[in-house]
Structure 1
């Protein structure tokens, strides 16, 4: 049994090392290979990603309002391990931090300049579409994906006494023998591979924006050496945090970062166009609700789907690539919650915060469009890592806002890598919720190495593309989780 316990770890680490070597030595071929794979996945299965994400949202809503909504993720007398604020802070920082900060300025501008077919660029319609699209991408769609995996894991871990392995969720469908055999090992190895690839690319994005900000604000050279120093320093911090455990490092850093995020949000609101921000919050939320079904299932049978594939399907696939790690982490911190509480806390609450965040920063971004030509805006979104700092220069306290963004990104880097390291260590320790420290160190170094080597080789996007393309098999696993969970929930005695 011990050999099997180490098998997932050994094979996963070996694959990670191969990815590092191949991505660095053969970066040019990785670009063409990844683009071809992603194009094939999008063109042939884009409809499945869209249908599945919509289905996950409906499934979670059904489970929350059903008789199973009051079932505890644990024994009936278990109570939540963390306060509501600490729980939300860890959910927010572990799940979406870096990406939301990175794209909160650049993405609204991108949709304004390059909207889908049928919407004229640079118009009020483009601006309105831009904001509600960001609401959708960074709100309920991603959190619903994370919650599917998180709910399944939390239920089987704390209610059924299973270990923290993705394969255990499918036991009601494939049987205990298959879960403990080759099929289970393949599922767990694949979950690890998808996780470290997805996490490494997101960490690379965070580093690129931190270094881009330092270069823009203080003329710090944006070079490989700067990237190496930033990654090395932050890696030491998140390894120290990961080794100290969830109750110390991750919990404390997540709370600090949440308060910094709230501070940045308040300062940005105060210096920004306050009335337009409030108008955006009201109007775009209404439009988001009104157009929700058509937006979430946006794909054309006869028209041009280029925008949909490049944004909707790309994002849905990216979220699914993050699901093993985020789902594992939010399951770990959700013991003692009811299923209804879990869905509200893991889906509804962060979606509401995201809408508030994007109302502020999206409006700030779009309110400056009259200052720049469409060509200048296009150049800005081509370098999204510096877009936020360029836009902030149009407002008072720009230096303070920019410094807060850099600090926020740095701590988000730490919390994301911290929770990812913890999750990867659990997944490669047969689901042990207290994995060995040496595995945390190994996975932390692997994540940092992939982020640096592929960032310096100029091939960060291909790895991101490959991780997204690799999410297709995991999508089928997630789809199977829904009937597996229902099958097990049917055994529950109605409260």
Structure 2
């Protein structure tokens, strides 16, 4: 098995400088002119979702169908590597890194409360707070965190890994993976722009995660330790995160990110198992089975529902928003997953993301979402009212307080939050370092100095935006960036198919398809 070298090539200023300028050009106005900057971003978001919401919907269903077709085709046997390349990580650690890096803190927030939002504001003209609304509440949680999101994550990973490990092209970038279609233009200004936009999308995506995580952990810590909520508490929380993920980034994939992801998954399993045992387990299981059946039978309808006559905004407020959010994260996840998937087949990669990624999210929604919905339906706790008055952090805190040994559970939950976000932040810093390294191969890790540079840049942006309240605007602007990423996904898919047809035109079905001389 080939072992990655400890340090990669030098910083590529040709990509680094435009990337930093793009970030500064979009973040600084939000800091200097928060009101007008936020208004402009919101207007761009309204335009993107209002005029092109239908495009996000079509893109979601198309990506799912494309990957399912690819997995069952003969190209599913293609190994992402040479004949001697073996997987670098165990199957558990590989799937754990994919899941933890892709989901991060978001599911820890939303799994508890998202079904409550749907329960009070259901789709398809269903009466709010009704039995039908409760069924749709669990169903849409499975839908918005299931096959389609993971398909968005998976699509970029395959051509990137193919470029790195089959064609052995240097450069862990989207521009390199687009070379099958763009040719030499991928090395010019077009490729630089593509990579710079990807970098902004990653930093903005991290801003989204920080925007969710810091208020939640600050409020939980405040309640647990009796500390007054303040800006300094927020900064203290962020500094702890910086220390954790900087150390993880420093130690690299095998000794840092892999270990943190493994711990993350075991902690999540413990908390989910505890909630399942102390809650109404039968309600959770039956709720999940029912919602899974409802989602599968209505999958195409939910994927393409735009309610042009009724004028409901549910599909824009939720589905379009989520699809844009997942697309914005897709380049980061594609680059990260490609880097850790050497030696796997295309089919293995699609199954790991679309099947195991979806299953992981469904467990969170079945257990935590089911528990919260049960509290709401039975009148034990009015989660909806708390959400209305105090937002997500207050609602999560109130739900945790209903569990036995709530103090201990809250402490473990805070630890899970720290590790969950750290796994996303370290993956992000690692990918940013890879993208801005000069001719990095898939067998190398980026230099530690470049990894730490991005770790501290991410933290610096986070501190500035928390202080000035610009996180929401960065989250929104990231989602706006998702619109031009849709044609980029098309380019990547097209590039991959062209490569596969050229490389394996005469190959018959084999257990694994590999190019014997992958240096050609």
Q: TM-score range by the shorter chain?
A: over 0.9
- Could you say which residue in structure 2 is the equivalent of 1:355? 362
Asked if structure 1 preserves the Cα contact closer than 8 Å seen for 2:147 and 2:354, the reply is: yes
Is the aligned partner of 1:224 residue 2:231?
Answer: yes
**Which of 389, 414, 424 is the matching residue for 1:406?**
414
Q: Distance in 2 between matches of 1:473 and 1:459?
A: 23
- Could you say which residue in structure 1 is the equivalent of 2:32? 25
**Which of 445, 457, 471 is the matching residue for 1:460?**
471
Ranges in structure 1 where 5+ consecutive residues have no aligned partner: none
Query: What secondary structure sits across from 1:490 in the alignment?
Result: helix
Q: Distance in 2 between matches of 1:358 and 1:374?
A: 16
**Which of 95, 109, 118 is the matching residue for 2:125?**
118
**Which of 188, 193, 212 is the matching residue for 2:195?**
188
Shift of 1:373: 4.9
Q: Distance in 2 between matches of 1:419 and 1:96?
A: 11
Asked if structure 2 preserves the Cα contact closer than 8 Å seen for 1:16 and 1:446, the reply is: no
Q: Distance in 2 between matches of 1:476 and 1:305?
A: 27
- Could you say which residue in structure 1 is the equivalent of 2:514? none
Superposed CA deviations along residues 190-231 of structure 1, whole A, max 9, x for unmatched, are: 111111111122123112211121123333222110111111
**Which of 199, 207, 210 is the matching residue for 2:206?**
199
Query: What secondary structure sits across from 1:470 in the alignment?
Result: helix
Query: What secondary structure sits across from 1:383 in the alignment?
Result: helix
Shift of 1:375: 6.3
Q: Distance in 2 between matches of 1:292 and 1:237?
A: 39
Moved more, 435-444 or 157-166: 435-444
Q: Distance in 1 between matches of 2:258 and 2:41?
A: 36
Q: Distance in 1 between matches of 2:271 and 2:387?
A: 26
Alignment RMSD: 1.8
Q: Distance in 1 between matches of 2:312 and 2:165?
A: 43
Shift of 1:386: 2.7
Asked if structure 2 preserves the Cα contact closer than 8 Å seen for 1:113 and 1:374, the reply is: no
Q: Distance in 2 between matches of 1:218 and 1:124?
A: 39
Shift of 1:117: 5.1
Q: Distance in 1 between matches of 2:33 and 2:446?
A: 34
Shift of 1:473: 0.9
Q: Distance in 1 between matches of 2:30 and 2:217?
A: 23
With normalisation by structure 2, the TM-score equals: 0.91
Moved more, 301-310 or 257-266: 301-310
Is the aligned partner of 1:86 residue 2:93?
Answer: yes
Q: How does 1:138-217 map to 2 (within 5 A)?
A: 138-162=145-169, 163-175=171-183, 177-217=184-224
Ranges in structure 2 where 5+ consecutive residues have no aligned partner: 1-8, 511-520
Q: Distance in 1 between matches of 2:89 and 2:382?
A: 49
User: How many residues of Structure 1 are paired with residues of Structure 2 in the alignment?
Assistant: 492
